[in-house]
Chain A
């Protein structure tokens, strides 16, 4: 089926944003419930989407349900705007919803993300949509769904610390670096999707609404704006984020999440920002050498 943009700015051949209105209504009901109970996983009737599970079917459904023609969409994949997943989802919504897209964090009203939170601080008028593969933080130690639901209902979260204990016993420190469990609003323990724990502090009291969609597992959960999000830890092993010994090789930033890039087969490598938009903005503001000089 082909899609063309009609005179009214709407797409032919597809309902706005691919999903039919009844489905969107169902998803919005789940989203409203999720916002009402921060961190609680709301089951929803996840639809099949024209992409494989694991590619963001949950996030896409949430985005489709909240998107309006006035929105500007940004999609990132591991922080980058130009990787396959980000490009294809952006194209998907250009085609089916005809909404403008952007790579600039500040210009976007809806940001769908796979495993990063943008470095630039988000605002109240923005929504961050996460793609979630496994929404259940307790799954690692408790395979029974009936049991994990009961544990959530009764706030029995000791098991989460068993995982962290095991980390320290094996590695001497909490070695969990992504999907680091958080307690939302002092009630539900939540898996913040496989974002690096570097991003966990950004979730706390974030002005933007955060929505999480897991398509295969059929769950939606949310963190409303300005909600307390605390990373779990031990008193004598407090929560810490990753640190790098060198700054970004492209923009000189020392306060961002860095990716390691292998340059050759002789051990050459560099570190650069995973958030391409923030990195480009810094590069335009000044050459890396200037920035490196300032940083050092």
Chain B
């Protein structure tokens, strides 16, 4: 069995006296999509931020395997190293594209930012990859000089994904990537994400409260409630035959058309 790319052990986090997640352990293997589902306030986003090195957990460890390297604890890395990882090996797709985009510069500059951050200094090449990535996410190449605020919500979200994938990250964190989009746009975006994940061989951690999104994207699922992991397993297994009472409630709450 291959070694995990990301691993956390007994991660616990408190905001003051408020417990956000407790004793979470998980492994993410290369090329795998792991879904984290649960209701609002169940600690999903906190867990994602801890795994992405944005919050230091109160207790427990998070380790990441760099390219060709062994698992290294984030706490052993310097802030500079973590920030470098965050703009090269990692990608973070925010729920609101406005949090992940620079709204006052053009789409091309948004995509090129990560390239320039790792030292690319050739305008022609940067622009060429910006156009290439716009096409990858099905945005017209002619919009490369337009500001993101002239884009629709779905396009902004796709632009955010393009901006994140331009440095060929190995690990992508997604926080409710389809939240706030209407269902048809949501379906197209999911289709796009699924395609990109397959062709690029990405490892993905996707946080969602939408079980349909989890079912479409992820191969394994973790169900959280009140900061605890109540159930984990293969997506189909968890959704078809939920064991924990909360998972059963969650599955039975899906609206049927």
Chain A interface residues toward B at CB < 8 A: 141, 150, 154, 156, 158-159, 161-163, 165-166, 168-170, 233-237
Q: Which of chain B's residues have a CB closer than 8 A to the CB of A237?
A: 123
**A162: which of B87, B102, B119, B145 is its contact (CB, 8 Å)?**
B102
A256–B142 alpha-carbon span in the complex (Å): 41
Q: Which of B75-120 contact A (CB under 8 A)?
A: 79-80, 83, 87, 102, 104-106, 108-109, 112-114, 116-119
- Total A-B pairs in contact (CB under 8 Å)? 58
3 shortest interchain CB distances as A-B pairs: A158-B117, A158-B116, A161-B116
Our pick among A159, A170, A233, A236 for the contact of B113 (Cβ within 8 Å) is A159
Q: In the complex, A161 Cα to B125 Cα: how many Å?
A: 14
The reply to whether A158 and B123 form a contact with Cβ atoms under 8 Å apart is: no
B137 CB to nearest chain A CB (Å)? 19
Q: What residues of B have a CB within 8 angstroms of the CB of A154 in the complex?
A: 79-80, 83
Given A169-B109, A169-B144, 8 extra CB contacts under 8 A: A158-B87, A161-B121, A162-B113, A165-B105, A168-B123, A169-B108, A236-B122, A237-B123
Cβ contacts under 8 Å, B127 to chain A: 169
- Report chain B residues within 8 Å CB of A169: 106, 108-109, 127, 144-145
Q: Which of B136-176 contact A (CB under 8 A)?
A: 144-145
- Decide yes or no whether B126 CB sits under 8 A from chain A: yes
* Whole-angstrom distance between the Cβ of B149 and the nearest chain A Cβ: 14
Question: Using Cβ atoms and an 8 Å threshold, which residues of chain B touch A158?
Answer: 87, 113-114, 116-119
Q: Interface code B50-70, partner A: CB below 8 Å = 1, 0 otherwise?
A: 000000000000000000000
Measured CB to CB, the closest approach of chain A to B119, in angstroms, equals 8
A141 and B112 alpha carbons, distance in the complex (Å): 14
A10–B135 Cα distance when bound, in Å, is 73
**Is B124 part of the binding interface, using a Cβ–Cβ cutoff of 8 Å?**
yes
CA distance A235 to B121 in the complex (A): 6
| B126 A165 Cβ-Cβ under 8 A | yes
B106 / chain A contacts, CB cutoff of 8 Å: 166, 169-170
In the complex the two chains form, is A165's CB within 8 Å of B112's CB? yes
Chain A residues whose CB sits within 8 angstroms of the CB of B79 once the complex forms: 150, 154
How far, in Å, is B115 (CB) from chain A's closest CB? 8
A151 to B, closest residue via Cβ: B83
Closest partner residue, chain A, to B119 (CB atom): A158
B123, A234: Cβ atoms under 8 Å?
Answer: yes
Please give me the residue from chain B that is nearest to A165 by CB atom: B109
B53 to chain A, nearest CB (A): 14
Q: With A and B bound together, what is the CA distance between A165 and B109 in angstroms?
A: 6
Q: How far is the CB of A238 from chain B (nearest CB, A)?
A: 10
Residues of A within 8 A of B109 (CB): 162, 165-166, 169
